[in-house]
Amino acid sequence: MLVAQRQIPLHDNWTFSQVGSDQSYSASVPGVVHLDLQMLKQIPDPFYGNNEKEVQWIENENWQYQLQFDLEDMDTGKNYELIFEGLDTYAEVSLNGQSILSADNMFRQWRIDVGSKLKKTNNRLRILFKSPLKVNQHKLSGPPYHKTAGNDAGKDKVSVYTRKAPYHFGWDWGPRMVSCGIWRPVYLLEWEKAKITDFQVYQKSLSTEKAELEALISYDQDEPQDFTLKIRDLDTEQLLAESTAKRSDNNKLNWTITNPELWWPHNLGSPHLYNWQAEIWKEDQLLDKKPISFGLRTIELIQEDDQIGKSFFFKVNGQAVFMKGANYIPSDALLPRRTKADIDRLLADAKAVNMNMIRIWGGGIYEEDYFYQQCDELGILIWQDFMFACSMYPADEPFLSNIKAEIQQNVRRLRNHPSIAIWCGNNEVDVAWHNWGWQIQYLISKKNQEKMWGDYQKIFHQAIPDILEQVDPDRPYTSTSPLSNWGKLKNFNNSTMHFWGVWHGRQPFSDYKIYVGRFMSEYGFQSFPDWKTIQAFAPAEEQRLQSAVMKNHQKSYIGNGMIASHTRAHFRKPKNFQDFVYKSQLTQQIGIRTAIQSHRARKGHCMGTLFWQLNDCWPGPSWSSIDYYGRWKALHYDLKELYADILIVAEQDHESLRIRVVTDELVDRKAVLQVDAFRLNGKKIAGREFKLDLQANSASSFIDLNWKKLIKGSHRKASYLEIKLIEGEQVLAQTLHQFVVPRSMRLKKPKITLRSEGSKVFVETNTFVKGFYLFSEKQDLHFSQNYVDLQAGRTYVLETQGAEKIDVSALNYLTSY
């Protein structure tokens, strides 16, 4: 089918210059100025060493981008729109000397009708990017919204007045990189007669027998006339609906599907997608088409008062779903260099460890369409914040209408994605205003306090819900995350919770067992990234905890000392920095393991756990489970067990042990729990078996035993348990339980043997090993499992992808002995 429409990308032949200089250079589009300068070697790699400091001058300058282009086959009978998918941020755009756009929001798309200004040859497109620091300087004398911007690392905290990714201004896991540029694609759209501007599908009703669907199609036209609108199923080629359209807005088309296949999060079913296309026709000419993938599913957010407080959980297709996942931050400080392959890899890594939800956190960006498409396909749900985080925002008329346009556009762009489960107004703004003491710390007058909170309500309690009511009424909205603050234990009975007692509150890991909220949308603990990652950003002499580079790459005020103290509490003294880095990862793993186990063990009370944070935007220590270069930390490997559908949690008390089996499966099972006690040398002390009736989707099955009796005369420091859940021949779940922290275990120096066969490495040991880590100094190898607790006398298979044959003599390993 030929469409009377053409997209003409404008990505080649751009030049850029610093305003005030005569030098101009070639530029990459899409791109940002830091990447262009780095490419030209005008600045060093900002991620290396302390180079971040060397590139700060860029934010104070204005930058000009220019393009000269021809459009030889231009047809004056057609329409031409210039479309910027994203301009970062303050951009004055002119075409052939005439000003055509003044952009002020990185999150918006801009469309300009340029038909009357274009020429066949020698078109000149010019974009002046103005420094947000200069543009917003005058705002600093108004009410002190900026004072609350604690993560903004600048002297003048203009981030709150700038609709630009908040983390660009600095965050507690990332550098300050206030860049500018044409950060998303730019193209000319040539069209005639009509083009589709919107295609939205609603589920009027959904059951296993029948789905009743309604589409709303809007279009632009050059002159009013009759068009035919059609909806086609791209998989079956079947025409689903057709109607004549006489008006351009919200044309309704209806159709029904019998025995529909539902979309499920991947752990509960298959994420089935229908591929539908909206088309606009003039007689037998197809003018425009817009394909979407659509998943049939219902999603409900259940917030009900109950005996203890207020619930917060999701039902998908009528089933209560426990959410397991992490918070996602933008995967680069300099966004345009990310590729589709990077997105694929990160999402595959999330799915590989059984995550069913990712929270796109409010200090970053609304992601690319591709990101959400992949989540639709993989069956990963998205919690989508709007881009506001950890500070107060003004709501004067021009700023509020800018925000409204941003929300309208992004919701319209994203609303057909089945993966998006919820919209959330902001990250931690409400909780901060009411608990972080800004009013006193910054001496905010009563009048300003009223104004600032009034503005908060205008944005998050009025403007956003009003827009959602109009353009996406079926999806849940929550005004902020968290809704409850971690200060008091009773608050853990209500709604969403960010528990930062561990880390910011300096509490021990064991507090994760006590502080379990109804939906844990944040909590976390830092570790250092992979040793290879450290080598990539720190010169050899800086590879120490206290070096200037290591300190600069640590952005949390609480610093590397917090990692060190917890690492010391859990492991023996590190032999060197590399050993420390490795042990920091094992420590993080123990912490988050404690948290996730506690959250899942209290399923029902708690219905979601999203740790902080999945990924990084530059190389450095952080709360992430995957580092900037995509290398998995110890935690990420462990998530495979922690987020599996069935999880065994051993809750140890003085003498008793409650072993709980948590299942997210939607079926009941009869299984046997097998508990075996071993000495560290592998000798079995005792074993017991228990019959269990597992009730679908619950954490109700458990057994209690006296662990001291079970290990008989053996010392708790010298023994451990292996616990398995078995149905017939199949091991449904298994775990190891140690009675004391690794530091206190009577670990012996292991004799480890490695043997390889093709891409597989076979590992054996003569005594228990906590956190065996296999790697190669020379090659980047990813193994199917790593940081494994090895039992004596067993054989472990670590398989690598990518390498056909592994030579064990080229492998190294670390153990925590």
Give residues in contact with ligand BMA (CB under 6 A).
171-173, 389-390, 427-428, 498, 522, 612
Give the residue with the Cβ less far from ligand BMA, 597 or 622.
622
The C-alpha atoms of residue 120 and residue 75 are separated, in whole angstroms, by 9
The C-alpha atoms of residue 275 and residue 289 are separated, in whole angstroms, by 13
User: Partners of 190 in the beta sheet?
Assistant: 6, 80
The C-alpha atoms of residue 95 and residue 240 are separated, in whole angstroms, by 43
Give the residue with the Cβ less far from ligand BMA, 170 or 309.
170
Two structure tokens written together for 291: 């394909």
Give the residue with the Cβ less far from ligand BMA, 190 or 428.
428
Give the residue with the Cβ less far from ligand BMA, 281 or 503.
503
First to last CA, the chain: 66
The C-alpha atoms of residue 680 and residue 677 are separated, in whole angstroms, by 10
Assign 455 to helix, strand or coil. helix
Q: How far is the CB of 374 from ligand BMA (least distance, A)?
A: 24
* Phi and psi, residue 673, nearest 5°: -100, 125
The C-alpha atoms of residue 79 and residue 540 are separated, in whole angstroms, by 59
Residue 325's closest CA among 365, 295, 352, 287? Answer: 352
Q: How far is the CB of 562 from ligand BMA (least distance, A)?
A: 11
Judged on CB neighbours under 10 Å (0-12, 13-18, 19+), 306 is exposed
Q: How far is the CB of 522 from ligand BMA (least distance, A)?
A: 5
Give the residue with the Cβ less far from ligand BMA, 390 or 497.
390
Give the residue with the Cβ less far from ligand BMA, 428 or 722.
428
Residues 6+ apart with CB under 8 A from 487: 435
Q: How far is the CB of 430 from ligand BMA (least distance, A)?
A: 13
The C-alpha atoms of residue 464 and residue 443 are separated, in whole angstroms, by 29
Give the residue with the Cβ less far from ligand BMA, 324 or 498.
498
Give the residue with the Cβ less far from ligand BMA, 161 or 500.
500
Residues 6+ apart with CB under 8 A from 70: 120, 121, 122, 123
**Inter-CA distances, 382 with 323, 418, 424, 601, Å:** 10, 9, 11, 23
Residue 11's closest CA among 69, 91, 64? Answer: 69
Q: How far is the CB of 357 from ligand BMA (least distance, A)?
A: 16
- SS3 of 463-505: HHHHHHHHHCCCCCEECCECCECCCCHHHHHECEEECCCCCCC
Query: CB-side exposure of 373: number of CA atoms within 13 Å?
Result: 12
The C-alpha atoms of residue 33 and residue 238 are separated, in whole angstroms, by 48
Q: How far is the CB of 439 from ligand BMA (least distance, A)?
A: 20
Q: How far is the CB of 335 from ligand BMA (least distance, A)?
A: 18
Give the residue with the Cβ less far from ligand BMA, 16 or 173.
173
**Inter-CA distances, 806 with 212, 530, 794, 811, Å:** 55, 21, 21, 9
Give the residue with the Cβ less far from ligand BMA, 79 or 495.
495
Q: How far is the CB of 568 from ligand BMA (least distance, A)?
A: 22
Q: How far is the CB of 437 from ligand BMA (least distance, A)?
A: 16
532: enclosing H helix or E strand:
helix 531-537
Cβ atoms within 10 Å, residue 174: 27
Q: Reply yes or no on whether 428 is catalytic.
A: yes
Q: How far is the CB of 556 from ligand BMA (least distance, A)?
A: 6
Judged on CB neighbours under 10 Å (0-12, 13-18, 19+), 27 is buried
Q: How far is the CB of 611 from ligand BMA (least distance, A)?
A: 11
Is 114 in contact with 95 (CB distance < 8 Å)?
yes
The C-alpha atoms of residue 571 and residue 771 are separated, in whole angstroms, by 11
Cβ atoms within 10 Å, residue 225: 11
- The one-letter code for the residue type at 727 is E
Peptide bond into 30 cis (omega under 30): yes
Which member of 406, 428, 522, 722 is catalytic? Answer: 428
Two structure tokens written together for 212: 């009743």
Region of 784 (left: φ > 0; alpha: ψ -120 to 50; beta: rest) is alpha
Is 585 in contact with 644 (CB distance < 8 Å)?
no
Give the residue with the Cβ less far from ligand BMA, 35 or 431.
431
Active site residues: 428
